[in-house]
Every structure is written in C-alpha cells, then in structure tokens.
C-alpha cells in the first residue's frame, strides 16, 4: 500500500505540472481544470506522506498517559452514535505492521496509535491549505469542498484511533503487570 500511495502522489503532481504546461501552451480551460484537480489531489497525498514521515522521526514516550490522548467523558457515547465499531475495519492502514501484536508490545502499539492520531489531526489542518489557491484560480467553493472532504477523511482515522485506545491501553497495562509479576524478587 505504501508504494502505491507514494507512486500515486508522484504521478498526480507530475500530471499537474504536465497539464499546467499544456495549458500555458494551448490555453484550453479543460487543461487548467485538470492541472488544478491533479495538483490539489497530489498535494493531499504528498502532504500526508510528508507529515507521516516527519512524525515517524519524533519520539513519543509515555504518550498513552498524556492529557491530549486521554479519552473524554463524551467520546464513548459519540462513538456509539457514529457506529464506529461497524465501519472501523474498512479503513485502509498505511503501515499495518505498526499495529501488529505479533511484532510489537501493546505499549508500542498504543504509541503508534498516538502518533497516527497526531498525523491525522495535523493533516486535517493542512487539508485547508489549498483554499489559498482560490486567490489565484478562483472557484473558492471547489477548494473549500475538497479541503473539507479531505479533512473529514482524516478525521475518520482520528476517531478510530481514539475509539480503540482505551482497549489498547488496558491491554498495555495488563502486559506491564504480567511483566512485573514475572520478575523474580531477589533479596539484597
């Protein structure tokens, strides 16, 4: 999946440049529309890849217990109303190995979830950067709609991370307790 997303981002940005060049040479409005469409879509893919790569370099230790990641009292009710349990498994995962209990401890999986939440929250904000392109190209509603849809898509991933976190946190705590119990006591 990662290779396909990287290739798609590069292809879309290359097509945007191609269509923009053809528009400058020929002046057909359709070419400008194609350049804007490919450029905006390419931006959304590229910025997500870049934000993910940047956050991968940031160490997140003890993040499960940080205030930002703690569940709020109203969240459980909201997730029930949104029926998160019924659709969460249908969302794609960029790096499924990051969430594998065969490869990682529950604490590591929880930290990967926190990192993923931060990535998607940042993407929600950055989704609105293309709106500024409306100053040059016009069609503000088109840029607003595409930006809002991109932000909503990232918000789905934030919701899933926050929905799953309490369960993963309980598993991490249980795993830590078992590890502490397994350490033999040696009197000094």
Segment 126-159, tens digit of pLDDT: 999 999 988 888 778 888 998 999 999 999 999 9
Using CA atoms, how far apart are residues 58 and 6, in angstroms rounded to an integer?
Answer: 21
CB 120 within 8 A of CB 51: no
Q: pTM for the complete prediction?
A: 0.83
Does position 107 have pLDDT exceeding 70, yes or no?
yes
């Amino acid at each position: 999946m990662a290779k396909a997303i990287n290739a798609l981002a590069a292809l879309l940005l290359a097509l945007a440049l191609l269509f923009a060049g053809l528009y400058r040479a020929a002046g057909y409005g359709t070419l400008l529309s194609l350049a804007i469409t490919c450029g905006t879509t390419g931006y959304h893919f590229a910025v997500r890849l870049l934000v993910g790569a940047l956050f991968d370099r940031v160490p997140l230790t003890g993040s499960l217990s940080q205030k930002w990641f703690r569940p709020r009292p109203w969240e459980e009710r909201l997730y029930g109303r949104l029926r998160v349990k019924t659709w969460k498994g249908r969302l794609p995962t960029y790096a499924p190995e990051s969430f594998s209990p065969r490869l990682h401890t529950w604490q590591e999986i929880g930290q990967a979830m926190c990192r993923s939440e931060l990535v998607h929250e940042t993407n929600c904000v950055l989704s609105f950067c293309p709106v500024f392109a409306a100053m040059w190209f016009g069609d503000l509603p088109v840029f607003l709609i595409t930006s809002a849809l991109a932000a909503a898509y990232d918000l789905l991933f934030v919701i899933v991370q926050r929905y799953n976190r309490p369960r993963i946190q309980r598993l991490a705590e249980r795993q830590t307790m078992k590890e502490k119990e397994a350490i033999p006591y040696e009197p000094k």
